[in-house]
Amino acid sequence: MFSNKQEFQQAFLKRLEMLCGKPFKESTKNDHFLTLGQMIREHVSSNWIHTKEKYRTSQEKQVYYLSIEFLLGRLLRHNLMNLGIEELVEGGLQELGVDLEELEEIESDAGLGNGGLGRLAACFLDSLSSLNLPGHGCGIRYRHGLFEQKFVDGYQVELPEQWLRYGQVWEIRKTDLAVEVPFWGEIESYFENNRLSFRHINAEVVTAVPYDLPVIGYHTDTVNTLRLWSAEPSPYPFYQDVMKYKRETEAISEFLYPDDTHDDGKILRLKQQYLLVSASIRSIIRSFRATHRPINELPNRIAIHINDTHPVMAIPELMRILLDEEKLGWEEAWDITTNTISYTNHTTLSEALEKWPVRLFKPLLPRIYMIIEEINRRFCEKLWEINPGDWDRIHNMSIIVNDEVKMAHLALVGSYSVNGVAQIHTDILKNREMNLFYQVFPEKFNNKTNGITHRRWLLKSNPKLSSLITSAIGTGWIQSPQELIKLTEFKEDKGFLDKLQSVKQENKERFSQRVFEQTGITIDPHSIFDVHVKRLHAYKRQLLNVLHIMHLYNRLKEDSSFRLYPRTFIFGAKASPGYYYAKKIIKLINTVAEKINGDPAVQDQLKVVFLENYRVSVAEELFPAADVSEQISTASKEASGTGNMKLMMNGALTVGTLDGANVEIKERVGLENIFIFGLTAEEVLHFYQKGGYHSMEYYHHDKKIRHVIDQLTNGYFPDVDDEFEPIYDSLLIQNDQYFVLRDFDSYVSIHKEVERKFKNRDQWIKMSLQNIAASGYFSSDRTIKEYADDIWKIKPV
């Protein structure tokens, strides 16, 4: 396409005129962005076609990763970097007077996800392509991604997100590959060649149109595909009320569900799930059929992975195709299906385990429901054979029970592999939550500790640290992130440690500047940047953090001799719009921030910043500047976490409970390089089972706790009336089910330890180095290699 700066510039100017119909001197930043985006897409097109051709002709197995969310973020610089043309393009544009950084800012985050689960899917795509593995993503092209968050008077307000407003430069609409997805209607049975067969009649048909995005590997020729489905009215059938049909159809891919932990029994959500599954499986089978191989070879050629239970209807959908279209017998179809589909469990929170009322499910998806009934009948029969007469066991394991379909049970029965996302999470699945299934299918269970792509979360977002690392250990770590461990050789190298210290300081100054521009708040770049960013959820315990801040502020106010090492607490979090309690916590953090930031007496010691609209691009700016990473979930509740890994990789030290991947971070850095506090998962689970925790005792016996809790409701905060009563109630009346008060003292102590360690700058920077050095394990390249070898059995092509 273009091999030097001049060629690039000529092509850019020519393309700009053609695309925007105006000369360069009249063009806008937006024109520049669109032009560059198109050029990049064109630049990859030959490799993209070549990759597809290679997959078509090779005998190698491919994986399809089905996920209801892909939290991609911005793609411009990431794509330039992976293509290896970042410098050329940046320099070429600069000579034309165009600033690449400004163009980056124009791009909206592709926010097709809520948080960790969707971001994991995005990291996996990057690793698949960068490792030359044949793997594709399948998702939904929501017209509006996760809502945009604003604070008004300290309350969260949600605005519809508009990522498609200026046209999506990366995607290609593939109208000719559209598939028809049926909802509602009836199932008619008939005999054909002595075989009972079924057909779906009177269905309402929705057209699923794919939009393909190239997934560009880092410095390789591999370009895989992320296929996102959009729901459109079918051009064929005639409906009485055409407008209503059009509206209802388009609604399916209109919005991302703003919650990954509650499912409020919405038909729309079920329609989204089936649209994703049905369109994806149909298109997978279509390309398999084009190879003219016998259908029983499917599991040798294709692996289908479901990211949590949202796409679990892949199981009955594949059965439907094998039974109704391929005319296989049940056993053969089941054998193929259960050797093709694998499943990742993301949570043990009972409120997040999907259950669908039969009364909604059955009329909407009649054939799928019939097949699930038959899967369940056979499964229960098998259970009966293993444990005759054990009705309780069957009741607890059944896929359909109490007029509900339990999606996790379907996933456990219909897949060949079930993995948790961190060792402690997998252990809890095996020994507790899914133990009954573990007894029946021990061979299915395995662990795959999550990872993040170090290319986005270090190489791209922290260029200063990346250069420093490269200057010390060479570039090998970019391809083999575990080489970061070589950095430990520099732990006594004063010169290197000073440079590391300067990089962090420069990043903090840059971030302080951003905060000032965006919020008008001045923060001290020499203070400790204490970062707590993630979705707002009771179990993630942002409340524990803010109560601790209130406590520190109380100390400063009460004791004029008490000095705090300057500290900036930084929050970022969206609450699901319907999550009342989470919104109260947002209001509390904003209220505390206002009070503290408005008090001149503590300005040099304490600041609280709550960043609006936390998302991937904000995370990328923040992490390079972080000193402390707050990972303080109630032990046993956070399956893995990935924010913890991103922050560690950027040299932040973790303050954390022994939960999720924190446990493995601790194992890799050693107890002396992490701040662990609070109850263990064992202890928490023990309390849940046996009782014995009374939060009121902590209130009565601990003065500092009593003080902050009273401040929630005694008029300490002006103009909020009874705003925080629900928080007070949850802590004292409802016995604090997340153990905030139980862990409070331990949290206060560990933060004293943090302060002590930070004051010794040489020691701190050494600890930071140890964290960066040990973070290579948490690259998603390691995770994806494990999936590829152990679960999918795929090889680089």
Beta carbon nearer to ligand PLP, 417 or 640:
640
Query: Please, what is the minimum distance in Å from the beta carbon of residue 668 to ligand PLP?
Result: 17
Token pair recorded at residue 343: 């499943």
Where do contacts with ligand PLP occur on this chain (CB under 6 A)? 115-116, 119, 534-535, 615-616, 619, 641-643, 646
Beta carbon nearer to ligand PLP, 421 or 468:
421
Alpha carbon of 651 to those of 422, 479, 513: distances in Å? 21, 20, 20
Neighbours of 441 (CB within 10 A): 15
Residue entry with tokens 């392509």: 129
Q: Which of 646, 668, 742, 782 is catalytic?
A: 646
Residue 759 known to be catalytic: no
Helices (H) and strands (E) counted in the chain, each on its own, are 33, 25
Residue 486 known to be catalytic: no
Residue 54 known to be catalytic: no
d(CA 171, CA 211): 6
Beta carbon nearer to ligand PLP, 615 or 766:
615
Alpha carbon of 518 to those of 16, 521, 716: distances in Å? 31, 8, 29
Beta carbon nearer to ligand PLP, 75 or 394:
75
Neighbours of 309 (CB within 10 A): 26
d(CA 469, CA 471): 5
Cα radius of gyration rounded to whole Å, the chain:
27
User: Which helix (H) or strand (E) covers residue 205, if one does?
Assistant: strand 204-216
Q: Which of 642, 654, 657, 783 is catalytic?
A: 642
Q: Which of 227, 367, 534, 766 is catalytic?
A: 534
Token pair recorded at residue 789: 């070898």
Q: Which of 454, 535, 567, 751 is catalytic?
A: 535
Query: Please, what is the minimum distance in Å from the beta carbon of residue 750 to ligand PLP?
Result: 18
Query: Please, what is the minimum distance in Å from the beta carbon of residue 119 to ligand PLP?
Result: 4
Residue 249 known to be catalytic: no
Residues 127, 114, 591: CA angle, nearest 5 degrees? 130
Query: Please, what is the minimum distance in Å from the beta carbon of residue 144 to ligand PLP?
Result: 17
Query: Please, what is the minimum distance in Å from the beta carbon of residue 534 to ligand PLP?
Result: 3
Query: Please, what is the minimum distance in Å from the beta carbon of residue 675 to ligand PLP?
Result: 16
Query: Please, what is the minimum distance in Å from the beta carbon of residue 266 to ligand PLP?
Result: 23
In DSSP terms, 224 is beta-bridged to 215
Residue entry with tokens 């279509």: 286
d(CA 306, CA 310): 8
d(CA 622, CA 613): 13
Token pair recorded at residue 587: 């209001």
d(CA 129, CA 216): 6
Beta carbon nearer to ligand PLP, 227 or 534:
534
- Inter-axis angle of helices 366-386 and 330-337, nearest 10: 90
Beta carbon nearer to ligand PLP, 146 or 709:
146
Neighbours of 288 (CB within 10 A): 16
Query: Please, what is the minimum distance in Å from the beta carbon of residue 622 to ligand PLP?
Result: 10
Beta carbon nearer to ligand PLP, 27 or 450:
450
Print the SS3 string covering 160-226: CCCCCCCCCCCCEECHHHCEEEEECCEEEEEEECCEEEEEEECCEEEEEEEEEEEEECCCCCCEEEE
The count of C-alpha atoms lying within 13 angstroms of the C-alpha of 502, restricted to the half-sphere facing its C-beta, is 9
Residue 305 known to be catalytic: no
Query: Please, what is the minimum distance in Å from the beta carbon of residue 450 to ligand PLP?
Result: 8
d(CA 396, CA 210): 39
Beta carbon nearer to ligand PLP, 338 or 779:
779
Q: How many angstroms from the chain centroid is the CA of residue 322?
A: 32
Strand duo 135-140 + 62-66: pairing? parallel
Residue 244 known to be catalytic: no
Q: Please report, to the nearest 10 degrees, the dihedral formed by the alpha carbons of residues 417, 418, 423, 428 taken in order.
A: -140
Residue nearest ligand PLP, CB atom distance: 643
Beta carbon nearer to ligand PLP, 207 or 545:
545
Q: Which of 119, 144, 320, 346 is catalytic?
A: 346
Give me the active site residues, please.
346, 534-535, 540, 642, 646
